[in-house]
Amino acid sequence: MSFTNSALNGNYAGVAATPASFGVQVFSGEFAADGASPTGNMTGTEDIGASGGPVSGAAFQAAYAISSSSANGRGTMTVASGEGGNAVIYMISATAFVAVSLNDPNPAVLLFEQSATSPPPTPTLTSLTLSPATVTGGDSSTGTVTLSGPAPSGGAQVALSSSDTSVATVPSSVTVTAGATSATFTVNTSAVTASTTVTISAAYAGVTKTASLTVNPAPPPPPTLSSLTLNPSTVIGGVQSSTGQVTLSAPAPAGGATVTLSSSSGAASVPSSVFVPEGATSATFTVNTSIVLVSTSVTISASYNGTTRMASLNVLL
């Protein structure tokens, strides 16, 4: 494996693997290398047991240069601190190297190694939300799953389920892409005859979150005008009146229903509209007549919500 200066970069612990009989007999310390090129720098503190007596927490400073080769990265280190000196160094892996003094006839082998980098903790599922949380059957809601941290390499697959698939369905899972913290999915619903609450669940890495979705029945369609009747349907002009009745297909909605009225002739007059109260299905109105010179057939019309009904009134001389 080929190494260069940039490979010797980071924090290292150092120890004498084979203490010599003189010179450096005990060596340990903590060091930091900057990976600079063409010359890198290493600094730190060292504890030394030497022939001249022990030294604790001594400053360490050295410069190093590694030349790439087809095998290990081999290079040199020049120590500026302490008594100084030169050493040859070998990169034995991406996280470790050895140094052997060139000044000591019976040198120790110094081993420098980085601690293994712990992988980031697996994120957990922190929440599941639905927006909106109440829908009309046939409409959809958007679910969002959120993790405690970025999804790992390859993403995070969150399992989904519904407590009542006849009312609300979800995909079997949703994937939070690598580096992201959340993902959305669609909850599809079906028509219902009564308000129904469905529990949507999401599970990941041993954690399950739930959210409730309320599915309501669709409101009834607005009523239409089903009929218009006149009683009686034949009257003497100017003497008699007739009673009209409008009937809806269903109870009038909140606020009631206003039905517009009209007459095709001045021989019979009607109000401009008649009001069907909320919850009622019909209302009546009066058709007043005038004296005519000849018997006349008048068309009375009633209109509501796009539907028009007509009835004929015979006004006699």
pLDDT digits (tens, 9 = 90+) for 274-306: 999 999 999 999 999 999 999 999 999 999 999
Q: State the pTM of this model.
A: 0.54
* Domain residue extents for the chain: 5-113, 125-216, 225-316
In CATH, the number for domain 225-316 is 2.60.40.10
Q: Homologous superfamily of 5-113 in CATH?
A: Quinohemoprotein amine dehydrogenase alpha subunit, domain 2 (2.40.128.120)
| 56 Cβ neighbours under 8 A, 6+ residues apart | 47
> Residue 261 is encoded by which pair of tokens?
């009225």
Residue 191 Cα distances to 145, 194, 289, angstroms: 26, 9, 51
Judge whether 5-113 and 125-216 match in fold: no
pLDDT computed for residue 21 by the predictor: 44
| 13 Cβ neighbours under 8 A, 6+ residues apart | 28, 29, 30, 31, 112, 113, 114, 115
Region 257-264 average pLDDT: 98
pLDDT in tens, 128-181: 999 999 999 999 999 999 999 999 989 999 999 999 999 999 999 999 999 999
Give the pLDDT band of residue 8 (cuts 50, 70, 90): confident
pLDDT in tens, 128-141: 999 999 999 999 99
Region 216-234 average pLDDT: 95
Mean per-residue pLDDT over the chain, rounded: 87
Region 31-50 average pLDDT: 80
Fold of 125-216: Immunoglobulin-like (2.60.40)
| 159 Cβ neighbours under 8 A, 6+ residues apart | 172, 173, 202, 203, 204
pLDDT computed for residue 170 by the predictor: 98
By mean pLDDT, which of 42-46, 82-86, 123-127, 166-170 is the weakest? 82-86
How far apart, in whole angstroms, are the C-alpha atoms of residue 248 and residue 61?
A: 97
Region 111-121 average pLDDT: 73
Contact (CB, 8 A) for 231 and 276? no
Between vectors from CA 289 to CA 283 and to CA 295, what angle results, nearest 5°?
A: 125
In what order do the strands lie in the sheet containing 242-248?
A: 225-231, 242-248, 282-289, 268-269
How far apart, in whole angstroms, are the C-alpha atoms of residue 310 and residue 317?
A: 23
Per-residue burial over 59-85, b if 16 or more Cβ lie within 10 Å, else e, is ebebebbbebeeebbebbbebeebeeb
By mean pLDDT, which of 69-73, 211-215, 228-232, 242-246 is the weakest? 69-73
How far apart, in whole angstroms, are the C-alpha atoms of residue 312 and residue 309?
A: 11
pLDDT computed for residue 98 by the predictor: 81
Percent of the residues in the chain that have a pLDDT greater than 90, as a whole number: 60
Contact (CB, 8 A) for 275 and 252? no
| 194 Cβ neighbours under 8 A, 6+ residues apart | 217
Beta bridge partners of 145: 128, 183
pLDDT computed for residue 148 by the predictor: 94
Give the pLDDT band of residue 58 (cuts 50, 70, 90): confident
